[in-house]
Amino acid sequence: MLKFTQPFHSGSRVTLRRLYSSAPTKSRVQLVAELRKLSNAPIIKARQALDESNGDFNAARQWLEEDMRKSGAAKAEKIKDRETSEGLISISVLEGGMGSRVGSGTGRVQAGIIELNCESDFVSRTEEFARLADTISDLVARSRALDQDTFSPFTLLPIEDLLHLSHKSGTVGSLITDLIARIGENISLRRAMLLTSPTNSNTTYRAASYLHQGRVGALNLISLRSPQPSLFKDDSFIGDLEKLERALARQTAGFMTLGVDKKRHPEDEPETILYEQPFMMLGGENASIPVRRVLDQWQEKWGLEELAVADFARWEVGKD
């Protein structure tokens, strides 16, 4: 309702001051719609939450969250033995290494790769499922590997520990349970790995990654040594290096790559060894040349002392 104060005179000028009442109360339909938007709850549940809370929106929201936790836990327990053979690979790179445009660019590498599984291909293609996978891979990338006797760039992390990692909306375990409650399918975190670069080393490291339709993912650790540290501030060099790194990650993902070189994997077939494969993902005149020979040529072109793939992880949904 519009209210007016008594007019007052300032000389010959009359001023009216308008005072407004508080904003109109939202209708029940509007409150239900807002609750559903915030929680993805069914309309019946949103209405029940308002009934249980006497129309108090904040109390209704808390009621919904608690109800979803309980129903999600019950549903997850009921369907926990159902097979989860579909899903997504998700990769999160927080620090891409020296000169990288990802992170600080100061030389540290930190990244995570995870496989999140569900029952159907349909669910694996939903935005909700993809967001959950990305959230978990980001949390993995931010985590730390504990109790390592010897350093390894890639460290498999215990799933049970990861389920207790905290997120602003809850733990990883509760986020999975909440989605189970909404979609009615079993969801499981199958595996997770942390990539960190060695410290106190004269070698420079960078991370390169590639995802193919979310079903195949490659995360590579590239090692370089250069007599010219300023090279990593050269835009031309960095641009050329990024193109090469992406091609290496695509090569690793696109082929059934099992190892980097024959020395470390003498019993594997040449087509499964990265350095032995024709560098098809780089294309052009290099498409038929073995990866290692292309790296040698690139190393010579930029005057590097070393250019190598130190290690990699190649994951495919449902396969070891």
For the chain, what are the domain ranges? 24-79, 86-316
Architecture of domain 86-316: 2-Layer Sandwich (3.30)
Residue 235: pLDDT above 60?
Answer: yes
Average pLDDT (138-164) is: 83
> pLDDT averaged over the chain?
87
Q: Which of 60-64, 167-171, 193-197 has the highest mean pLDDT?
A: 193-197
Residue 167: pLDDT above 90?
Answer: no
Q: What is the pLDDT of residue 21?
A: 45
Predicted structure pTM score: 0.79
Specify the CATH number for 24-79; select among 3.10.20.340, 1.10.8.10, 3.30.420.40, 3.40.50.620: 1.10.8.10
* Local confidence band at 4 (pLDDT 50, 70, 90 cut-offs): very low
Q: What is the pLDDT of residue 315?
A: 98
Q: What is the pLDDT of residue 281?
A: 96
**What backbone torsions phi and psi does residue 140 show, to the nearest 5 degrees?**
-65, -45
Q: What is the pLDDT of residue 238?
A: 96
Q: Which residues contact 247 (CB under 8 A, 6 or more apart)?
A: 279, 281, 282, 283
Q: What are 283-294's pLDDT values in tens digits? A: 999 999 999 999
Q: What is the pLDDT of residue 126?
A: 96
- Flag the least confident range among 99-108, 112-121, 148-157, 200-209: 148-157
